[in-house]
Structure 1
Amino acid sequence: MPDFNQHNYLTAYKGSKVLLTGGAGFLGSNMAHRLVEIGAYVTLVDSMIPTYGGNLFNLKDIISKIHFNISDVRDQNSMSYLVNDIDYIFNLAGQISHLDSMSDPFTDLEINCRSQLALLETCRKINPTVKIVYAGTRQIYGNPDYLPVDENHLVRPVDVNGINKAAGERYHLLYHSVYGMRTASLRLTNCYGPRQWMKDNRLTSQGWLLRLILENKETQLFGDGSQLRDLNYVDDVVDAFLRVGAIEASNGHFFNLGGAPYSLLQQVETMIELAKRGSYRLVPWPPAKKAISIGDYYGDYRKIKAMLGWEPTIDLRTGLKHTIEYYDKYKEYYF
């Protein structure tokens, strides 16, 4: 298997066969566009469950250039067929709503644990040389003991989703250490950009804040709005996945993503300034959200920078400008 370095990693995908689970969602569709652009043969699988983020409009520009399979990652027969003869799997499918995981913990367990284990077992038996990159989350750290949070921080989730996502990641790393499979994980922070879920605040609070502003409505910030978050524009996130997939040094590793921290108040004020509409109001914390809030968070991404050459390149103002332009043009398909 050729090893691609930090400078030529994109050439790994030209002519390769790539499978994206959760492919019609935010990250999957943006990654599919990039992979098609660089010459990969792309297959998407998505359950298209209405509340999980899949959107056919996300694929409108590339639908004739990909294979699209409407199926659930929990369907082992379907996945056995789909993983055969694939070179790279970007495993993005999952239940990502923290509140949903608390109200329906068993569904979260089934999607974020059992289906992950089933996918790995299927690959071990049918396609053991495939490279698998898992979409993890910074939520597994829970309330940070220090900032910025590096990969040595304790894993101490504050909700069911965090526990199950941590388990899903460990399954991937276990299959590397025990079976020698080529697996790795990215611990994503707050991602934003075009093709994001915007219908409610279940899957992304940041996207929901932006939607309210674009509709010239008042948005509410909990507490004093000083909670710090780092954000990554989706193009930077896609680049991180492609580096992890192509560069063999990533096998068996997990990596933080991250960027410059901004308070929620700073984020909202920047949105309002760029959109030239909207307003905000500070309100007390709802008890259900306060119970699973992690306070300030921003990640230390020095590991992925040192090993794979990744760092964020798109600043908040530029990313928000591109995002606002996209939704102003296509909001009927997202709002």
Structure 2
Amino acid sequence: MIKLDHLNCLVTGGAGFIGSHLVDQLLARGCMVRVLDNLSNGKLANLSSHFADPNFEFNQGSITDPCDVDQAMQDIQVVFHLACLGVRHSIAHPYENQRVNAEGTLLLLAAASRAKVSRFIHCSSSEVYGSAQYVPMAETHPTQPCTVYGASKLAGEAYARAYYLTYGLPTVIIRPFNTYGPRSHHEGDAGEMIPKSIVRALNGKEVLVFGGGLQTRDFTFVEDTAAGLVAAAECEAMTGLTLNIGCNFEISVKELAEKLVAMVGNHAATVRFTSARPGDVSRLHADPSAFMALCGWRPTTTFEAGLEKTIACFRAHPLGLAGLLQSEAGRNW
């Protein structure tokens, strides 16, 4: 077992949703944490509690810039690679999406190999699978991504495997299924259903369901996902492997929308069905048993408890409910 305590860690995309929670956990372990983020989706506010911490360093820069990457990689022992552009972004900007998610990953792997880092955790996505052909979906499930995002994440995986097999870089590829929780994106093309729906429901607006609502997803609370990434870095038996993180359950988008409206408790909020999103996968349901068997990780937050925490976070947001709604466009592709 590898102990992360007091090691020098680089988190790309560390100002983002999952990345900032990972930074929280690494700093709590006594790690020196350097973040590389261009703030295209991430927010400095997600990291503001760490600005005075001598073990924390923020580098504003891009994973597609060799100079930024080389500077960020100096004296680093463990890399957590989370920086990416998302699913909806890839609909309108496919080339930029693949450049960041695939080419940026390759650039980072090359720099990590030169720096002889002891661990490289590549955060991929369940989107590499496309829609489930059977459930639950183990790592052997066919990979047939529906979007350029999914394809670019799959390419990044292939590069990570190649660097392990050809150059001996100790990589681990993690495929998180859908993650939710505080700091999740409700705005722009990074916005996802749970935060978008919470913002709309809190404001008494219609919660939008794209398509028939029968699509299913497997959700993990963000602190559990971050803990899984830490566990992957510490588990030597995972070197060279590709593994799922998920909760082995599925809920339909329709049921989720109705649940959120009920939990928010604003009687003016309703559910409205609208046209389907392009590239939307119809079913995701994780089999995380291989990951659990290797490191003992288990999700500790129930879905309902996680939703309550997420709703409370948005209810208390410094922008206020009306301010949050201003940046929630509904259709975000």
TM-score, length basis structure 1: 0.90
Aligned to 2:52, the other structure's residue is in SS state helix
Query: Which among 266, 271, 280 is matched to residue 270 of structure 2?
Result: 280
Contact 2:81/2:123 (8 A) holds in 1: yes
Question: Offset at 1:201?
Answer: 5.4
Unaligned residue ranges in structure 1 (runs of 5+): 5-11
Unaligned residue ranges in structure 2 (runs of 5+): 325-333
Residue 308 of structure 2 corresponds to: 321
Residue 238 of structure 1 pairs with residue 226 of structure 2: yes
Residue 329 of structure 2 corresponds to: none
Amino acid at match of 1:292: G
Tell me the distance in 2 between the aligned counterparts of 1:240 and 1:282. 35
Question: Offset at 1:82?
Answer: 1.5
Runs of 4 or more, structure 1, over 4 Å off, are none
Aligned to 1:61, the other structure's residue is in SS state helix
Tell me the distance in 2 between the aligned counterparts of 1:37 and 1:111. 29
Residue 9 of structure 1 corresponds to: none
Tell me the distance in 1 between the aligned counterparts of 2:35 and 2:293. 31
Contact 2:88/2:189 (8 A) holds in 1: no
Question: Offset at 1:87?
Answer: 1.5
Tell me the distance in 1 between the aligned counterparts of 2:216 and 2:68. 42
Question: Offset at 1:284?
Answer: 4.2
Contact 1:105/1:160 (8 A) holds in 2: yes
Residue 301 of structure 1 pairs with residue 288 of structure 2: yes
Per-residue CA deviations over 1:296-322 (Å, capped at 9, x if unaligned) read: 211111110111112222111100111
Tell me the distance in 2 between the aligned counterparts of 1:106 and 1:229. 27
Residue 91 of structure 1 pairs with residue 64 of structure 2: no
Residue 8 of structure 1 corresponds to: none
Contact 1:221/1:265 (8 A) holds in 2: yes
Aligned to 2:10, the other structure's residue is in SS state strand
Tell me the distance in 2 between the aligned counterparts of 1:136 and 1:100. 16
Question: Offset at 1:112?
Answer: 0.9
Residue 44 of structure 1 pairs with residue 39 of structure 2: no
Residue 72 of structure 1 pairs with residue 62 of structure 2: yes
Aligned to 1:191, the other structure's residue is in SS state strand
Tell me the distance in 2 between the aligned counterparts of 1:284 and 1:47. 34
Identity of aligned residues (%): 26
Per-residue CA deviations over 1:63-103 (Å, capped at 9, x if unaligned) read: 2111011111111112112112211111000111x232132
Query: Which among 168, 176, 179 is matched to residue 164 of structure 2?
Result: 176
Per-residue CA deviations over 1:225-261 (Å, capped at 9, x if unaligned) read: 2322110000110110000011111111111122221
TM-score, length basis structure 2: 0.91
Aligned to 2:179, the other structure's residue is in SS state strand
Tell me the distance in 2 between the aligned counterparts of 1:223 and 1:116. 33
Residue 151 of structure 1 corresponds to: 139
